[in-house]
Amino acid sequence: MGILDRFGLDGRTAVVTGGGQGIGRSYCLALAEAGAKVAVADIDDESAAAVVLEIEAGGGVAMAVHADVTDETQVAAMVDAVVGTWGGLTIAVNNAGIGVWRAAADMELAEWRRIMALNLDAVFLCAREAARVMAPSGYGKIINTASMSAHVANTPQNQVAYNSSKAAVLHMTRTLAAEWAPKGIRVNSISPGYTRTLLVDRLLETPEGKSMLPEWLPRIPLGHMASPEDLQGAIVYLAAEVSDYMTGADLLIDGGYCCW
Ligand SMILES: NC(=O)c1ccc[n+]([C@@H]2O[C@H](COP(=O)([O-])OP(=O)(O)OC[C@H]3O[C@@H](n4cnc5c(N)ncnc54)[C@H](O)[C@@H]3O)[C@@H](O)[C@H]2O)c1
């Protein structure tokens, strides 16, 4: 098989959590263009349906699945919906996540738990449900969204819960990779740097956020934030057969932020 063919995803089925917008949306579009059938899973039905329409307009196959991935029952139903419709699941992208800026001393336990429930617990639940389906087939690709904040305590914003959750995702990725390698399931992660999405735009609109860009940009060697499209090559690579020897790894795509 030629090298570009080994990046192809024909015959593969994928689910992307938080697929309705931002990074998740760009992952859905990339996986579909590479040939996969894509389930766009989101808590926001309207945005998920819009991504499905975009994929179908480009000639791809997609479906929307409503799922709050912090809910164990809904995660199981999400995977069931994919398997029930397409007969199997080969690619699970655990991407939904949230960020909050809060001084650590002011953070209430309930807010800490809310971040952990989505950024960490839900990633585990989604990986576990996917692996239950992938294991009998002897093959699967699980791709978690971590962050450069898993590698570095980026400042000046205060985000102890976010950083901690993402660092835990990195180590969970390695741990699951080791446990599930004998079952043929590869588990890797992508760590984006600052990426222009609604999550970041919302934070930048706050009074604290308005002062952030002038602080952030000089710290990025490439001099600008990523666009969600900058991450598309990595998701196709990790989803495809070409990366089958890679597991437990993280692809850091941060414009060089962590070099300094
Ligand atoms: N944008 C960045 O700069 C950046 C950098 C590093 C890592 N990340 C990570 O990338 C991922 C995506 O971030 P984004 O910037 O695209 O965010 P976003 O806010 O633009 O999109 C997140 C999507 O997740 C969905 N979602 C939220 N809660 C959910 C739930 N409980 N169940 C299902 N879906 C839910 C939202 O409806 C939305 O469609 C997150 O894990 C984030 O931490 C983002």
Q: What is the CATH number of the domain that holds 189?
A: 3.40.50.720
Q: Is ligand 1 within 6 A of the CB of residue 199?
A: yes
* pLDDT range class, residue 129, cuts 50, 70, 90: very high
DSSP 3-state of 170: helix
Whole-number Å distance, alpha carbon 56 to ligand 1 midpoint, is: 23
75 found inside a domain: yes
Residue 37 sits at φ, ψ, to 5 deg, of -80, 135
Lowest mean pLDDT among 42-46, 210-214, 244-248: 210-214
Is a pLDDT exceeding 90 seen at residue 21? yes
151 contacts 191 by C-beta, under 8 angstroms: yes
164 contacts 225 by C-beta, under 8 angstroms: no
Q: What percent of the chain has pLDDT over 70?
A: 100
258 found inside a domain: no
How far apart are alpha carbons 19 and 49 in whole angstroms? 10
Closest alpha carbon to 252 in 181, 189, 169, 159: 189
Q: What is the pTM of this model?
A: 0.98
- 214 contact partners, CB below 8 Å, separation of at least 6: none
| Radius of gyration for the alpha carbons in the chain, expressed in angstroms and rounded | 18
200 found inside a domain: no
115 found inside a domain: yes
The pLDDT value given to residue 201: 87
Q: Is ligand 1 within 6 A of the CB of residue 17?
A: yes
As for how many domains the chain has, the answer is 1
206 found inside a domain: no
190 found inside a domain: yes
Burial 189-210 (b: 16+ CB within 10 A, else e): bbbbbbbebebbeebbeeeeee
Calculate the alpha carbon distances from 191 to 9, 150, 195 in Å: 22, 8, 11
Tens digits of residue pLDDT in 59-109: 999 999 999 999 999 999 999 999 999 999 999 999 999 999 999 999 999
The pLDDT value given to residue 209: 84
Whole-number Å distance, alpha carbon 147 to ligand 1 midpoint, is: 11
Handedness of CA 58, 126, 5, 147 (dihedral sign): positive
Domain range for 12: 5-195+227-253
Tens digits of residue pLDDT in 202-227: 888 888 888 888 999 999 999 999 99
The pLDDT value given to residue 210: 85
Q: Is ligand 1 within 6 A of the CB of residue 81?
A: no
* pLDDT range class, residue 30, cuts 50, 70, 90: very high
* Amino acid letter for position 77: A
234 contacts 251 by C-beta, under 8 angstroms: yes
The pLDDT value given to residue 199: 79
User: Can you point out the beta strands (E) in 88-151?
Assistant: 91-94, 140-145
Average pLDDT, the chain: 97
Q: Is ligand 1 within 6 A of the CB of residue 255?
A: no
214 found inside a domain: no
217 found inside a domain: no
The pLDDT value given to residue 19: 98
Tens digits of residue pLDDT in 157-205: 999 999 999 999 999 999 999 999 999 999 999 999 999 998 788 888 8
Q: Annotated catalytic sites, by residue?
A: 162
Whole-number Å distance, alpha carbon 78 to ligand 1 midpoint, is: 18
